[in-house]
Amino acid sequence: MVTIKDVAKVAGVSIATVSRVIHDGHQVGEACRARVKKVIAELGYRPNSNARALVSKTTNTLGVVTPKLSMPFFGSLASGVEKGARENNYKLLMSNSLYETKSEQEAIDSLRDHNCQAIILHSEYSDEKTLLKLAKEIPGLVLINRYMPAIANRCVWLDNVAGARTATDYLINRGHKNFAVITSIYQNGDPGFRLQGIRESLKLAGLQLSEAAIEESTANMEGGEQAVQALLNKGIQFTALLAYNDLMAIGAIHALFAAGLRVPEDVSVIGFDDLIVSRACRPRLTTMHYPVEEMASYATKLAIQLSDTSIEPESRTHLFIPQLVERDSVADAPRS
Amino acid sequence: MVTIKDVAKVAGVSIATVSRVIHDGHQVGEACRARVKKVIAELGYRPNSNARALVSKTTNTLGVVTPKLSMPFFGSLASGVEKGARENNYKLLMSNSLYETKSEQEAIDSLRDHNCQAIILHSEYSDEKTLLKLAKEIPGLVLINRYMPAIANRCVWLDNVAGARTATDYLINRGHKNFAVITSIYQNGDPGFRLQGIRESLKLAGLQLSEAAIEESTANMEGGEQAVQALLNKGIQFTALLAYNDLMAIGAIHALFAAGLRVPEDVSVIGFDDLIVSRACRPRLTTMHYPVEEMASYATKLAIQLSDTSIEPESRTHLFIPQLVERDSVADAPRS
DNA sequence: TTGAAAGCGCTAACAC
DNA sequence: GTGTTAGCGCTTTCAA
């Protein structure tokens, strides 16, 4: 490993001078700078970032904590963070929380040991108190996909209620009157907000949504399938189905076809998230676009900005609005 | 920030003693150890990993370089690495190469600056010379999804040829005689091997595969669609279609249905990779399972092992075999 | 414009 | 058992 000393020795200068030319210091003579640069190139010298971090206390390192990278949604989130990090010349430290409060905490601690200046956290289960405490301790902490009024300027989140309302209104405008909903058994966070949006829109339109027409299951394809089967078994009549997310919507489509119903001719189905799978099913899924990757890059830049405590943080909110993506799983309500 | 000095002062011992109890040193008195531990807990002391890395030259940090995290395949890869890292108590540094040789190199360099001891690299475009040089310099470097005989014991790869043969043989055994193939325009790496496997099996079975029945396109859904349209436009007759990967297979299914052909009744389609999308399409895709996540964890453990140069590396090969996953997109050849 | 030197937080000899 | 001390590679005063 070639160190700053080696460079200094070969170039015949002091290590201070080498350090200066690395930092583009203008207080170095032309000839000297050129010589040092040449030696650096020849030796292939690269500053040791640990040493640098130790003395300067600035690591240019950013951490992300997400539940599980193998889920496409979080892959996109990570990708957005990576983009933001790269553009700002930051390194990216990554840790999965596996949906557990304990490993989430461990993940965060480990990032702090590394002097991460900025942290992007996707937390569903940690309670507000923990998060608030964390936010106080780490200036560069940004929450993604969660909103807490007390630290509003450090939350990058999606208006799930508005998204669900857009989806519901769209179905209403297409003439649908009989709705069913499949959602997650865990109603805290996103699922709860989306259900709320659905309820609001339906109520405003004077439409009924009986509790029996709301089926809870796991938030994946299998869950979607089971939920629809349950709905069908109960004899619920519906021409429009709102799913908590794309995966459930796709499971629903499978179950619907299996039951001899056509999508969208008999039943219109709408998803939420706009994952890549939504273009894989047939019919292609109409859904609400969740701009995760964009939000993640945004959150990254925000976190980096906030980590510089010399800058007064703006007290603004960072809210994104999901957009409807029309594909082929929704049609006008059939004339009955 | 609380340092080892603070702990020493409060506990009334020297920093060396604190360091010893941290490292579970058995050369510390019972009472003393207990007291130090108590102080550590009270103060919430956590060792600074940069300082630690600087002096001990061991960072317990592992890096991954993949093209793009938002692609489900790489998300799974990253997830597997994360698992391996977590299990070995390593931190994970992540960098996207975006399919460019230049940023791939930058990504690797940045990992080296951080004293990563182990690196998992998914490289498609770097040439062998570069890779070989890198491997020589970094003992803990492991290549995933690429095989180079010179460093066979540091490659974790998939037998694409065998996988393609399995897929092809399966179709042959189902009575198919008229084959078509859709593959990537880039034939280096995976696509080339898979095509080779197809050719081998077909030849062995005495079946023809005209060049016209092989259509190249981009390796995604759109590409799959276009390729099938091109095949159809050319008037190619086929009852079995082998796709380079799941995404192309799904695009193919869309195009087939659009053309009034049924899958699998008229045409059987088989994919490769077994991404989550393969369960999203209808019919569900029969495909070859690529155990990325498992391979990635394996590669991670291997890299960590190799990075410890005191251990003699085994000179074995790390080859994984894809398995057939039967779902609903393949049927017996129709009687003509 | 350049160099000497202090010190970031920690580990690991080496003393006692 | 426990303390003292010399660095790890670097940045950053402070002098010259």
Q: Which residue is nearest to nucleotide C7 (CA to C1')?
A: A55
**Chain B contact set for A257 (CB, 8 A):** 282
**Least Cα separation, residue A57 to chain B (angstroms):** 10
Torsion region of A44: left, alpha or beta (phi above 0 gives left; psi -120 to 50 gives alpha): left
Q: Which residue has the tokens 């000839």?
A: A31
Q: Which of B82, B112, B276 has its CB closest to that of A277?
A: B276
DSSP 3-state assignment of A94?
strand
> What interhelical angle do A72-87 and A292-307 show, nearest 10?
40
**Least Cα separation, residue B166 to chain A (angstroms):** 25
Contact yes or no for B274/B288 (Cβ under 8 A):
yes
Closest CA to B62 of B116, B137, B26: B116
Burial class (CB in 10 A: 0-12, 13-18, 19+), A76: buried
Contact yes or no for A306/A154 (Cβ under 8 A):
yes
- Distant-in-sequence, close-in-space partners of A65: CB < 8 Å, separation ≥ 6: A95, A96, A97, A104, A107, A108, A111, A119, A120, A121, A122, A123
Closest nucleotide to A17: CA versus each C1':
C2
pLDDT at A70 (0 to 100): 94
Closest CA to B64 of B106, B26, B19, B118: B118
Amino acid, single-letter form, for residue A287 = T
What are the residue ranges in chain B where pLDDT is below 50?
none
Whether B94 sits inside 8 A of A95 (CB atoms) is: no
Whether A79 sits inside 8 A of B96 (CB atoms) is: yes
**What is the CATH class of A160-290?**
alpha beta
The C-alpha atoms of residue B22 and residue B20 are separated, in whole angstroms, by 5
pLDDT at A336 (0 to 100): 66
Q: In residues, how long is chain B?
A: 336
Contact yes or no for A66/A78 (Cβ under 8 A):
yes
A92: enclosing H helix or E strand? strand A91-96
Q: Which residue in B137, B277, B329 has the most chain A C-beta atoms within 10 A of its own C-beta, making it the best mutation to test that interface?
A: B277
Architecture in CATH for domain B60-158+292-323: 3-Layer(aba) Sandwich (3.40)
Give the CA angle between residues A237, A238, A244 to the nearest 5°.
130
**Chain A contact set for B47 (CB, 8 A):** 113
Structure tokens at B175: 């009575």
Contact yes or no for B263/B240 (Cβ under 8 A):
no
Q: Which residue has the tokens 């998204």?
A: A163
- The span from the first CA to the last CA of chain B, in angstroms, equals 78
Contact yes or no for B285/B269 (Cβ under 8 A):
yes
**Chain A contact set for B50 (CB, 8 A):** 50-51, 53-54, 59, 114-115
Q: Which nucleotides of C are covered by protein (CB under 7 A)?
A: 1-5, 7-13
Q: Which residues of B55-94 are buried (b: 16+ CB within 10 A; e: fewer)?
A: eeeebbbbbbbbbbbbbbbbbbbbbbbbbbbbeeebbbbb
Whether A50 sits inside 8 A of B74 (CB atoms) is: no
Q: Which residue in A2, A3, A68, A282 has the most chain B C-beta atoms within 10 A of its own C-beta, making it the best mutation to test that interface?
A: A282
Q: Which of A48, A254, A277 has its CB closest to that of B113?
A: A48
Q: Which residue has the tokens 């609001």?
A: A200
The domain spans of chain A are: 4-47, 60-158+292-323, 160-290
The C-alpha atoms of residue B272 and residue B270 are separated, in whole angstroms, by 7
Whether B113 sits inside 8 A of A46 (CB atoms) is: yes
Burial class (CB in 10 A: 0-12, 13-18, 19+), B152: middle
Q: Which nucleotides of D are covered by protein (CB under 7 A)?
A: 1-5, 7-13
Structure tokens at B9: 């002062």
Closest nucleotide to B31: CA versus each C1':
D1
CA(A110)–C1'(C12) in Å?
Answer: 24
Per-residue pLDDT of chain A (336 residues; tens, 9 = 90+): 899 999 999 999 999 999 999 987 778 888 899 999 999 999 999 999 999 999 988 888 999 999 999 999 999 999 999 999 999 989 999 999 988 888 888 888 888 888 888 999 999 888 999 999 999 989 999 999 999 999 999 999 999 999 999 999 999 999 999 999 999 999 989 999 999 999 999 999 999 999 999 999 999 999 999 999 999 999 999 999 999 999 999 999 999 999 999 999 999 999 999 999 999 999 999 999 999 999 999 999 999 999 988 777 787 889 999 999 999 999 999 986
Amino acid, single-letter form, for residue A111 = L
For the domain spanning A4-47, the CATH number is 1.10.260.40
pLDDT at A126 (0 to 100): 87
DSSP 3-state assignment of B243?
strand
CA(B57)–C1'(C14) in Å?
Answer: 21
Whether A46 sits inside 8 A of B94 (CB atoms) is: no
Q: Which residue has the tokens 């996707």?
A: A122
Contact yes or no for B181/B195 (Cβ under 8 A):
yes
A60-158+292-323: same fold as A4-47?
A: no
The whole-angstrom distance between residue B54's C-alpha and the CA centroid of its chain comes to: 31
The C-alpha atoms of residue A34 and residue A109 are separated, in whole angstroms, by 43
Q: Which of B96, B109, B276 has its CB closest to that of A46?
A: B109
Structure tokens at A211: 């509790």
Q: Which residue is nearest to nucleotide D8 (CA to C1')?
A: B55
**Chain A contact set for B72 (CB, 8 A):** 70, 72, 75, 276
DSSP 3-state assignment of B98?
coil
pLDDT at B46 (0 to 100): 93
Q: Give the protein-side footprint of strand D (Cβ within 7 Å).
A: A 1, 3-5, 15-16, 19-20, 22-23, 45, 47-48, 51-52, 54-56; B 12-17, 20, 27-29, 31-33, 51, 54-55
The C-alpha atoms of residue A246 and residue A252 are separated, in whole angstroms, by 10
pLDDT, tens digit, for every residue of B32-79? 999 999 999 999 999 999 999 999 888 889 999 999 999 999 999 999
Closest CA to B276 of B81, B72, B79: B72
